[in-house]
Amino acid sequence: MTDTRAIRGRLLTFTAEPAGPGDSGAYRYLSDGLLRIEDGRIAAIGPAADLLPSLPPGTPVEHHPDALVIPGFIDPHIHFPQTQVIASYGAQLLDWLEKYTFVEEQKYADPAHAAANARFFLDELLRNGTTTAAVYCTVHPQSADAFFAESERRGTAMIAGKVMMDHGAPDALRDTARSGYDDSKALIARWHGRGRQRYAVTPRFAVTSTEEQLAAAGALLREHPDCYLQTHLSENRAEIAAVRARFPWGNHYTDVYDRHGLLGPRSLFGHCIHLEDDEVRRLAETGSVAVFCPTSNLFMGSGLFDRARLTGHVPPVRTALATDIGGGTSYSMLRTAAEAYKVLQLQGQNLPALTAFHAMTRGNAEALGLRGEVGSLEPGCWADVVVLDSHATPAMAHRMETVRDDLEEELFVLMTLGDDRAVKATYVQGKCAFP
């Protein structure tokens, strides 16, 4: 028997990337709309007055008359083992890893610890309206097993992978080129394509992998071309210098990955701040994705992401927007967009509200190759939905008194003043997963 349910409210979904402020042709907005959901997917979207009469008798309808109903947020770069590393004081990238992150990640050798933290992590994502993410686990395969098992239990669509790291880390966090390959291949067999779970081959970054391990990562991608690749690139100047010293044969940092077959349209490169022109060219030519992580870049003093340079290249570099917990300081994609706005303002660039909300939903889905599955309110997509309240706090309600039925202004209030408190509800496959 078909499970039919519905969500009613002010529906907003993007149909294209906005050209700028005022681009009403890039989205569809229904002031009183309805999503008809069947077996977890959207079966129809339209005015509530048109669709309500067609619902089977007794269909549950969850009504949010004053809220904004949009696709669930998508976070394309986040670290599941770093939930207790957030707000660690006073270090830049390489020192921060050694002083805080590597200490914390060793705890994930314990399957019970990994399982407990997977529950917390997914609770926190859903509380912030995030329904899909690309996730780093630890070097321990059991950390990936714990994460995927919890995601499967909740029905969320997640991309994740065991970190591959055979150099420059404590012994307790090091695998080998062989074991990293074998463990990753076994995890791919167990989890990739199982329900809504997908696998990402995950060498942490060139600083912590040998040439042999990077070659093994490339071999995994050739053997499993529908898997993802996620790693870090050009986040910090000391990191770049370390890569140059370790791989003197490389033309630049990106070249180290390129020569091992790690660039491509399913490859996600976190940060991409300090790129040479030739690196931008290769990312663009290969369709690789540069992931903008503003709260992390600011917190660790790494630098400013030059979005205009990347998107203005011919051809453009594909970009995405992410939290990068735990170098990042908020699970909220709304807070992340607010900081992205400030980073770009410092460079004479801008981030209109339409562009930001497109990035957090359909744009990030396209970056992950998941268009038609998540990120849009359209028939066939999974009914992963977040309900936003633009009056959630006294300051927001006070500001909204001056907003006169202006959708873009409301979105800008949400992204500038909003956070987890603005998330009224989160749905996964049409069922309320938060609160």
Q: What is the pLDDT of residues 88-130, one digit of tens each?
A: 887 787 787 888 888 889 999 999 999 999 999 999 999 999 9
To 5 degrees, how large is the angle CA 102–CA 270–CA 78?
A: 60
Q: Give backbone dihedrals phi and psi of 141, rounded to 5 degrees, phi first.
A: -60, -30
pLDDT value of position 9: 98
Tokens 């001056």: give the residue. 402
Domain with CATH 3.20.20.140 in the chain: 73-331
Per the document, the length of the chain is 435
pLDDT in tens, 280-297: 999 999 999 999 999 999
Is residue 112 classed exposed, middle or buried when 0-12, 13-18 and 19+ CB atoms within 10 A define those classes?
exposed
pLDDT value of position 90: 77
pLDDT value of position 94: 75
pLDDT value of position 382: 98
Handedness of CA 195, 361, 336, 297 (dihedral sign): positive
Q: Give backbone dihedrals phi and psi of 59, rounded to 5 degrees, phi first.
A: -60, 125
pLDDT value of position 33: 98
Tokens 């997914």: give the residue. 122
- The CATH number for 4-72+375-434, chosen from 3.40.50.720, 1.10.357.10, 2.30.40.10, 3.40.50.300, is 2.30.40.10
Of 298, 285, 286, 296, the closest CA to residue 331 belongs to 296
Low-confidence residues of the chain: pLDDT under 50: none
pLDDT value of position 52: 96
Alpha carbon distance 57, 61 (integer Å): 11
pLDDT in tens, 29-74: 999 999 999 999 999 999 999 999 999 999 999 999 999 999 999 9
Domain with CATH 2.30.40.10 in the chain: 4-72+375-434
- The CATH number for 73-331, chosen from 3.40.50.2000, 3.30.365.10, 3.20.20.140, 3.40.50.150, is 3.20.20.140
Of 277, 284, 274, 281, the closest CA to residue 319 belongs to 284
pLDDT in tens, 222-240: 999 999 999 999 999 999 9
Handedness of CA 388, 391, 396, 400 (dihedral sign): positive
Tokens 């070249």: give the residue. 255
pLDDT value of position 1: 85
